[in-house]
Chain A
């Protein structure tokens, strides 16, 4: 596990904000052990949702980590229980869903603080293979985050963390070293803790897009939900983007 510590974020000088929202800071430990901090004027949710990939000689899978209870929400999309065992005192359940033509499966390890999930298309995998994968990942659930202490040749990559910011949209944070491709070549606009760009990112004009915020150690993609979500406003977006700071400490080597 990384010994990274959360970078210090100081609140901006006290001043009235356009949206009336307060400055907030959220820190989380990513599944690879990195410490990620986000701060700004806005309603940061507090709950992190992590996505990553794990590759070993036996498997290459996408994983997600959410706060405890998130597995129950996702399980609603996979109505058929297939198998379940107790893994190190926690329920490891395999469920199926989708359609007959396009079946899907969801495997989830329920934790006291965080849930670990893995989903894919097709028929469900063997429970024995999931147990072997968990042995390679060796998850450790703690208040700060669920960390995967990989063994052998298992590697974690493509880690990103998500926060929902009410009044703005979803904010996704990537380590700068792995997200260079997200940063436009143009200079962008200078803001308090980095540079800022607007991109449609494949969305049609008028249907939303993204803001790209790049700091020294992290890149954030902020979904622009103005015109899509009722509470998303110009003031909320401006307050967050102008004060936003993202840091990724202990990024994977």
Chain B
């Protein structure tokens, strides 16, 4: 009888050990999945290769025709974009709803959402997105006024590595 109880106790401890090891392994996996540097394909920035430019970041104004502030902000984009290009950055306008009725400088690029291999889905417009030379979206920021657009672009022009929105 004592032998059976001893064996049962030993088996219980083995089972507890296995459960603890399994729990620890699962915890590590959950942390990896939640973390900013998660496994490729499960986390990390969105990629829009069509907006990438060689050896430079691209600053993208995301607009839609149905958005009132987009129409207010867009006339100020010309000067802001020229300032950014003068500092070596590339610029583009992404039409989130596919509308092509945005008149740009010849040096600027109009990209339609439908031309992207993977859509850049933002809940809001207008937005200013910064895309690196790999096509990775480094930041997105809502642009609620002409003043905000000018502030964000001035910060990017002063430091091309700046992340819009950070104070």
Contact = CB atoms under 8 A, between A and B. Distances in A.
Interface in A75-106: 82-89, 91-92, 94
Interface stretch (B52-60, B74-82, B141-149): B141-149
Interface string B63-83: 010111110000000000000
A131 B142 contact: yes
Given A127-B148, A131-B142, A85 B165 contact: no
Contacts of B69: 83-86
Given A92-B124, A128-B165, A135-B123, A85 B64 contact: no
B124 A87 contact: yes
B144 A86 contact: no
Contact of B68 (A88, A91, A126, A135): A91
Contacts of B126: 85
Nearest to B69: A84
Most chain A CB neighbours (cut-off 10 Å) among B66, B67, B126? B67
B125 interface: yes
B145 A84 contact: yes
B141 A128 contact: yes
A86 B64 contact: yes
B124 A131 contact: yes
B138 to A, nearest CB: 15
A135 B121 CA distance: 13
Contacts of A91: 68
A123 to B, nearest CB: 12
Contacts of A84: 68-69, 144-145
B68 A94 contact: no
B148 A83 contact: yes
Nearest to A130: B142
A127 B69 CA distance: 13
A126 B145 CA distance: 12
A89 B70 CA distance: 12
Contacts of B148: 83, 127
A138 B165 CA distance: 22
B123 to A, nearest CB: 5
A42 B78 CA distance: 60
A141 to B, nearest CB: 15
Contacts of A89: 66
A134 interface: yes
Interface of B: 64, 66-70, 123-127, 141-145, 148, 165
Closest 8 CB pairs of A and B: A83-B144, A86-B67, A127-B144, A85-B124, A127-B142, A85-B142, A87-B124, A83-B145
18 contacts: A82-B145, A83-B142, A83-B145, A84-B144, A85-B125, A85-B143, A86-B64, A86-B66, A86-B68, A87-B124, A88-B123, A88-B124, A126-B165, A127-B148, A128-B142, A128-B165, A131-B123, A134-B123
